Amino acid sequence: MKIVLISSRLQAFGGLCEHLERGDRGRVVTRQEGGIQDLRLAADHDQPDVILVECSNLDSGSLSVVERVTDQYPRMAIILIGGQQDPEFLIQAMRVGIREVLVAGASRETVEAAVSRVETKLGLRIRQRSGQVIAFVSSKGGSGATFLATNLAHQLGSGGKKVLLIDLNLQFGEAILTIHDQAQSSDIAAIARNIGRLDASLLHASTVKVSNHFSILAAPEDPAQALQVSSEHLNAILDIAVEEYDFTVLDLNRTLDDLTIRALDRADQIYLVLQAMLPYIRNAKRVLTVFRSLGYVSEKVEVVVNRFGRGAEVGLDDLRASLGPNRIRTVPNGFRDVADAINQGQPLAAIAPSGVVSKAISDWAQALLPKPEPISGGLLSRLLKF
Ligand SMILES: Nc1ncnc2c1ncn2[C@@H]1O[C@H](COP(=O)(O)OP(=O)(O)OP(=O)(O)O)[C@@H](O)[C@H]1O
Ligand SMILES: [Mg+2]
């Protein structure tokens, strides 16, 4: 991987460059004296995979420099070191395609983690074993993202796969309540408080078991504890989750903050849930535009039209015309069954296994589960040969 570091204080980054190049990981770091105005030069000259650039202030001049580079080289990741962490700065940075904004004086480990994420995204890093990460986002409150995420996760577990759902609605998450009737004993904030001890057993111990193969890592009961969970914590949790579980399902917050974007980055598949009504569609369009600016290809994002009926005023063709090339999946309306399942804190498949919504979620899970190997050389085939 080719990395360019641009700074007016290259000496201060000597240790970082050595750290990034350490080991046999095929990384080469080129140092360039300068600032964000030199981004274009570095991009054209070296065509690196990553540019680390020291910059504390994005004026309109620097924003247009970045935008021109990200337009021309969409796979090139630009990481800002020294940026501010206020939402306005982060949104501006995100809009022009900057991948990450790290604080001034970010530790080597933080920069290393950011570079590793780019490697993972570009497929340059080999993970030991990697389960799939599936993220759910609702285009507007009440679309049904949480209900679908929990019940799809349950069905994947019933298909024999190990599944973890992480509730990332950190302040008011209630994923567990939609599918389970027992109290939670731990949550994601408890992991954040013990991040130094995080390993597979702490992760398992912090989850609530919903069924044989399906567990939930709940959001904290106290909304104030949401602040204890950072994107770095989430990253560390996901590193373990993908090695321990076949599927990690993320129920995301709609606010596109650092943690949510990190989660979306790590997802192999994103489901954007909406209903076939104008306010949902308008928001979905906006979210899809942000996803494109984050560099997500359309295959990564599937649109899920929930509570969809044949006679809907807005049909599938209208949705396609409005939302663009992403695949569209529909889930029918089933108010009675869904309300019963949620009110009883049970999986839908346990309450109404033959209902239309259950059937749609089961088909969805089947599409994600690996197909069984055809039986060859078994007794039947041997008998048939005679
Ligand atoms: N297919 C469906 N048929 C009927 N009702 C449904 C269906 N899917 C979800 N619902 C209902 O929609 C309500 C809202 O769903 P949910 O809480 O999952 O939405 P959400 O997108 O996660 O909202 P938020 O963005 O506020 O977290 C649920 O209480 C449920 O009753
Ligand atoms: Mg929700």
pLDDT tens digits, 79-94: 999 877 788 888 888 8
> What is the distance in A from the centroid of ligand 1 to the CA of 335?
10
pLDDT (mean) for 180-192: 93
pLDDT (mean) for 312-330: 93
Residue 334 Cβ inside 6 Å of ligand 1? The answer reads yes
Residue 357 Cβ inside 6 Å of ligand 1? The answer reads yes
Tokens of 152: 């799809």
pLDDT (mean) for 4-28: 89
Average pLDDT value over all residues in the chain: 90
Share of the chain above pLDDT 90, in %: 68
Beta-carbon contacts of 73 under 8 Å, excluding residues fewer than 6 positions away, are 43, 47
Q: What is the pLDDT of residue 254?
A: 87
pLDDT tens for each residue of 300-310: 999 999 999 97
Residue 342 Cβ inside 6 Å of ligand 1? The answer reads yes
Residue nearest atom 24 in ligand 1 by C-alpha distance: 141
Tell me which DSSP letter residue 383 carries. Answer: H
Residue 160, SS3 per DSSP: coil
pLDDT (mean) for 264-289: 96
* Residue where the block lists tokens 């979306």: 264
Q: What is the pLDDT of residue 304?
A: 98
- What CATH number labels 2-121? 3.40.50.2300
The answer on pLDDT for 376 being more than 70 is no
Q: How many CB atoms lie within 10 A of CB 84?
A: 17
Q: Assess whether the region 2-121 and the region 132-368 belong to the same CATH fold.
A: yes
Q: What is the pLDDT of residue 386?
A: 46
Residue 155 Cβ inside 6 Å of ligand 1? The answer reads no
Question: If pLDDT is split at 50, 70 and 90, which confidence band does 177 have?
Answer: very high
> pTM for the complete prediction?
0.70
pLDDT (mean) for 55-72: 88
CATH value of 132-368 in 3.40.50.2020, 3.40.50.300, 3.30.540.10, 3.40.640.10: 3.40.50.300
> CA-CA-CA-CA torsion for 204, 231, 255, 189, nearest 10 degrees?
40
The answer on pLDDT for 380 being more than 90 is no
> What is the distance in A from the centroid of ligand 2 to the CA of 143?
8
Domain boundaries, the chain: 2-121, 132-368
The answer on pLDDT for 14 being more than 50 is yes
pLDDT tens for each residue of 121-144: 776 655 555 899 999 999 999 999
Measured distance CA(261)–CA(188) in Å, rounded: 18
pLDDT (mean) for 328-347: 97
pLDDT (mean) for 214-242: 93
The answer on pLDDT for 255 being more than 70 is yes
Q: What is the pLDDT of residue 384?
A: 53
pLDDT (mean) for 304-326: 92
